[in-house]
């Protein structure tokens, strides 16, 4: 039954064999097919160079694995991790303890389950929370420098967010990358993994397009890389894959995305083709601080948080507020979508947020957003009404109501927390709002040991591990800020430890 001249077919037969071997009929399928040729051989192959991939490489190195290869599709290293705000919510770090903050993994899990609307896989959430403090130690070892503060983010019941000195993901990916190279880990960019290759014992390698150019979705050379111990998929989300987003969640077909352009569905598709069980593919976190007047999440998205806290958001059709501007992300994004639905393609109805001068003066991102024209100034209520096509009397009433609320003379029907009480007076600074895809909540189902679950057997697919945004379940339907980074660190490390422990 060996046919060495049809290697591709044989590889496919192996893959589908594993798909169907434990199928409903219980038929055992022969899986005596092996790839005929490997271009290169490593112990561990990691797909993606963001927080999850780097953490997997870190742990594989710590466990003594010699030949680790990290493949990155893009020219730039680090994916969305390199671009993020680098907030990391980690209970029980030595820094948090030194500050005398009371916290626990269980408290973090409770917060995550509330944000996740109960869809979280409880064991995954607890695994993340319990191992979070260890991530802090890993980062320190890799040379990441932290600010000496622990802050509290929305939806979290304790201050537990840590920040690197320069609060950007690059402050983490760059030192980790450097540390890993110093330990002999190999990195290759413009290497687009697009298929998982099986042998009798499970996943044994990957097919790669090298010299890959994402602009044209083509490369110069096809290759196969063997992974003697297994493959870790840490390829991130796919919010930029319009076709895949539309197929899974057509109601979001028109939404822009805040991710880097490499965030496509290549690897989630490869995992589906390899028989992995997907969960929550239709659940996306939307950024409610996004504007149609800037690309992705620009400076306007920082400004919006301040305008939400000290100003208000208005539906142009009514001139009235329509949400608690400090509700959780999903609640706010859904409220904005309802406002947008009242418009048409030719006459859109963008909600907008605005604030007074005092707020603008201390709002992060304001200067850049104003310079770029995302945020606009209006010197009177009339001018603000004209700018957004709102009935001026209705808008005046909304502002008067708000000023009574901050004066304590009226109750807020939306019950927004009033940490500051800032009266709204001209000049006003406003920005149009339109939610954007920010994070893929769903992905491959994994076990607490970062093993990818088979849709056919509901058990791990041997040799295949995954961590980070390409997986689903940890955060449920929606996630809190400062938690995806920790998810990547924790499950990346677990994947690295698991694959390291596997026999070659």
Binding site for a second copy (CB under 8 A): 1, 3, 6, 8-9, 12-13, 15-17, 19-20, 23-26, 29-30, 118-123, 192, 194-195, 207, 209, 217, 222, 243-244, 246-251, 264-266, 269-270, 272-273, 275, 277-282, 334, 337, 445, 453, 455-456, 458, 473
Reading the block at residue 203, the tokens are 């996943």
CB nearer to a second copy: pick between 230 and 476: 476
For residue 179, the Cα-to-chain-centroid distance in whole angstroms is: 24
Pairing type for strands 278-279 and 443-445 reads: antiparallel
Q: By C-alpha distance, which of 257, 55, 91 is closest to 169? A: 55
Tabulate helix, strand, coil % of the chain (nearest 5): 35, 20, 45
3-state secondary structure 205-227: EEEEEECCECCCCECCEEEEEEE
**Annotation says 329 is catalytic:** yes
- CB of residue 52 vs a second copy: minimum separation in angstroms? 20
Distant-in-sequence, close-in-space partners of 449: CB < 8 Å, separation ≥ 6: 460, 494, 498
Q: Phi and psi (nearest 5°) for 459?
A: -120, 165
Q: Is the peptide bond before 265 cis (omega within 30 degrees of 0)?
A: no
**C-beta of 455: minimal distance to a second copy in Å?**
5
| CB nearer to a second copy: pick between 25 and 347 | 25
Q: Tokens representing 116?
A: 């996740």
In this structure, the number of other CB atoms found within 10 A of the CB of residue 100 comes to 6
Kindly state the smallest distance separating residue 25's Cβ from a second copy, in Å.
4
Minimum separation from the CB atom of position 278 to a second copy (A): 6
The nearer residue to a second copy, 251 or 347, going by C-beta atoms, is 251
| Beta strands 161-162 and 312-315, pairing class | unpaired
Which one, of 114, 36, 79, lies nearest residue 236 by Cα?
Answer: 79
Q: How far is the CB of 319 from a second copy (least distance, A)?
A: 24
Question: Which residue's CB is nearer to a second copy, number 144 or number 270?
Answer: 270
Selecting among 160, 190, 226, 329, the annotated active-site residue is 329
354 three-class SS: strand
Nearer to a second copy by Cβ, of 20 and 394: the residue is 20
Asked if residue 468 lies in contact with residue 231, where contact means CB atoms within 8 angstroms, the answer is no
* Min separation Cβ 345 and a second copy, Å: 15
Give the nearer residue to a second copy in terms of CB position, either 179 or 238: 238
Catalytic residues: 329
């Amino acid at each position: 039954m060996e046919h060495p001249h049809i290697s591709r077919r044989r590889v496919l037969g192996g893959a589908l064999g594993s798909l169907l071997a434990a199928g409903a009929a219980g038929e055992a399928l022969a899986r005596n097919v092996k790839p005929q040729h490997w271009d290169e051989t490593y112990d561990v192959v990691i797909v993606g160079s963001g927080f999850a991939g780097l953490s997997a490489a870190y742990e594989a190195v710590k466990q003594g694995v010699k030949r680790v290869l990290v493949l990155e599709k893009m020219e730039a290293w680090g994916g969305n991790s390199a671009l993020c705000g680098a907030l990391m919510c980690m209970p029980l770090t030595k820094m948090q303890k030194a500050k005398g903050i009371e916290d626990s993994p269980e408290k973090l899990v409770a917060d995550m389950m509330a944000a996740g609307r109960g869809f979280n896989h409880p064991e995954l959430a607890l695994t993340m929370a319990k191992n979070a403090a260890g991530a802090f130690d890993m980062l320190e070892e890799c040379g990441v420098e932290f600010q000496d503060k622990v802050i509290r983010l929305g939806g979290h019941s304790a201050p537990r967010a840590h920040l690197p000195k320069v609060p950007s993901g690059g402050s983490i990916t760059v030192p980790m990358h450097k540390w890993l190279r110093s330990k002999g880990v190999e990195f290759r960019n413009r290497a687009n993994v697009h298929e998982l290759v099986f042998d009798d014992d499970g996943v044994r390698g990957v097919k790669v397009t090298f010299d890959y150019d994402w602009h044209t979705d083509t490369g110069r050379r096809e290759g196969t890389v063997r992974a003697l111990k297994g493959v870790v998929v840490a390829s991130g989300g796919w919010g930029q894959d319009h076709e895949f987003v539309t197929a899974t969640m057509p109601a979001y077909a028109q939404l822009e995305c805040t991710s880097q352009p490499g965030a496509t569905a290549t690897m989630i598709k490869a995992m589906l083709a390899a028989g992995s069980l997907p969960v929550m593919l239709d659940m996306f976190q939307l950024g409610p601080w996004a504007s149609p007047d800037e690309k992705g999440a620009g400076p306007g998205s920082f400004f919006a948080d301040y305008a939400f806290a000290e100003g208000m958001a208005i539906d142009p059709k009514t001139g009235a507020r329509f949400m608690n501007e400090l509700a959780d992300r999903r609640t706010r994004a859904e409220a904005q979508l309802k406002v947008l639905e009242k418009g048409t393609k030719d006459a859109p109805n963008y909600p907008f947020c605005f604030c007074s001068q005092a707020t603008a003066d201390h709002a992060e991102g304001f200067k850049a957003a104003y310079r770029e024209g995302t945020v606009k100034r209006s010197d009177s209520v009339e001018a603000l009404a004209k700018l957004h096509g709102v009935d001026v009397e209705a808008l005046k009433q909304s502002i008067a109501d708000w000023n009574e609320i901050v004066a304590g003379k009226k109750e807020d029907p939306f019950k927004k927390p009033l940490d500051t009480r800032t009266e709204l007076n001209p000049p006003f600074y406003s920005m149009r709002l339109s939610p954007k895809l920010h994070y893929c909540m769903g992905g491959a189902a994994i076990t607490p040991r970062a093993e990818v679950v088979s849709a056919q057997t509901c058990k791990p697919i041997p040799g295949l591990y995954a961590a980070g945004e390409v997986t689903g379940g940890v955060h449920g339907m929606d996630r809190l800020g400062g938690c995806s980074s920790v998810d990547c660190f924790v499950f990346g490390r677990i994947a690295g430890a698991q694959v390291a422990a596997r026999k070659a």
